[in-house]
Amino acid sequence: MKDQLYLLRPGFMNGPHGPLYCSDSVGVEGVLSFFPQLRTLLDVHYLEFPRPRAALVAALGEEHQSVPVLIVARGRDLKRGVPEPRGAKGERFFGDGKSIQEYLALQYDLPVPS
């Protein structure tokens, strides 16, 4: 099983504002661009802006619909130094761009963000 990464699809509208992109998602997208091998190691999902975001509600509950979010694969051993993920509905997850980038670097033996 692979880690599940959820990002907002760019070009969304927020009421009268837009098209927009998620500044937290774009940082994680940059890591995917720098290290394209991650796309084969993760399942990357692009979500639409409006809530409810059904995939996240099903996996983590209604209170955890913000993106970006990375759900750690069940049974995955975390490497030394990886920060402790949050938990919901029996899943472990990272719910912000900075912690996702740190997790990806440490778990997948990549350069760490500065």
Identify the residue whose tokens are 């750690």. Answer: 72
34-77 pLDDT, tens digit per residue, is 999 999 999 999 999 999 999 999 999 999 999 999 999 999 99
CA–CA separation, 106 vs 82, rounded Å? 6
Mean pLDDT across the chain: 97
What percent of the chain shows pLDDT beyond 90? 98
Element (H, E) at 105: helix 97-107
Q: Where are the domains of the chain?
A: 3-107
